[in-house]
Amino acid sequence: MALVEPVPDAPAAVADCGDERALVVADYHAGIEIGLRYERGVELRSDAGGRRRRLLALVGRTDPDRVLVIGDLVHRIGDPGEGERDELLALLDALDVPLTLVPGNHDGGVADAYGDRIEVTDAGGCRRGDVGFVHGHTWPNRSVLGASTVCMGHEHPQVRLEDEVGGGRAEKAWLRGSLRVDPFADELGVVPDALAWTDPGPELVVFPAFNDRSGGTWINVEGQAFLAPFLPDALGDDAEAYLLDGTRLGPYRLI
């Protein structure tokens, strides 16, 4: 059985971390509506309640020991603003399990604002059992790379699907495949053998965004680029895409 199993029809997974089970989500982006107002002049009614209810329903469905967010718990970069604070406090008050945050590029002020209520790890990621967690905006630390499965967010992967008459739609997707050792060895300044990886390397699981309003990277559209500094160079040829309902789309480069 895989160490990381997606929850059917949801942008979330359950990770077997050895001594506990974690419900894992990426890119929650609390307060995104306020951010969109300032960034793009887009006015949207807040869906803070909807996000909270969806996460709480997943907690009830999977019965985890903790919730682990792999980056971008909040939306606006820096100190969380009033909208983010209200949304996060309501979420924390409603959760009956601890919340751990692997900080992403939007989470700079979370540790200072909520360090007494949220466990915030190093930005280079953390390892729980044989599963590593990193947001993806930075290179993972060596402890994360020692895990057999590495989970990341940041990319918000989506696929563009077209029907027979030329209509198209975007669907959230999972991206799973082995990691190639050379880019990480080069970054760490070591020979590849120093990482002691088997062939193939650790499995990478790229999570779809939990937030429905955060957009994403169309991984099968020409001209779209990955955001992580180690992608796509570190992604093996076996990488495949899956829809939230579990539909296997095959090698993402051929979709």
Position 93 pLDDT exceeds 90: yes
Statement: the pTM of the whole predicted model exceeds 0.85: yes
| Residue with the larger pLDDT of the pair 200 and 14 | 14
Residue 5, judged by CB atoms within 10 A of its CB (0-12, 13-18, 19+), counts as middle
Residue 2 lies in a domain: no
The neighbouring-strand residues paired with 75 are none
Is 219 strand, coil or helix? coil
Q: Cβ of 248: how many Cβ atoms within 10 Å?
A: 10
Residue 196, judged by CB atoms within 10 A of its CB (0-12, 13-18, 19+), counts as exposed
Position 67 pLDDT exceeds 90: yes
Q: Give pLDDT, residue 254.
A: 82
Position 140 pLDDT exceeds 60: yes
Residue 1 lies in a domain: no
pLDDT (average), residues 192-211: 92
Confidence band, pLDDT 50/70/90 cuts, at residue 176: very high
Residue 3 lies in a domain: no
Confidence band, pLDDT 50/70/90 cuts, at residue 133: very high
Is the four-CA dihedral 233, 234, 239, 245 of positive or negative sign?
negative
Residue 238, judged by CB atoms within 10 A of its CB (0-12, 13-18, 19+), counts as exposed
Identify how many contiguous H helices and E strands the chain contains and give both numbers. 6, 15
Confidence band, pLDDT 50/70/90 cuts, at residue 82: low
Helix H or strand E encompassing 90: helix 82-94
What total number of domains does the chain contain?
1
The neighbouring-strand residues paired with 241 are 175, 250
Q: Give pLDDT, residue 31.
A: 84
Residue 95 lies in a domain: yes
Token pair in block for residue 9: 């029809």
Token pair in block for residue 92: 């924390």
Residue 44 lies in a domain: yes
Domain that holds residue 44: 11-254
Residue 166 lies in a domain: yes
Instruction: Say if residue 200 is preceded by a cis peptide, omega within 30 of 0.
Output: yes
> How far is 38 from 47, CA to CA, in rounded Å?
17
Token pair in block for residue 18: 């050895």
CATH of the domain at 171: 3.60.21
Nearest partner of 184 among 234, 138, 127, 227, judged by Cα: 234
Position 11 pLDDT exceeds 80: yes
> How far is 26 from 209, CA to CA, in rounded Å?
6
The mean predicted confidence, pLDDT, of the chain is: 89
Confidence band, pLDDT 50/70/90 cuts, at residue 224: confident
Position 20 pLDDT exceeds 90: yes
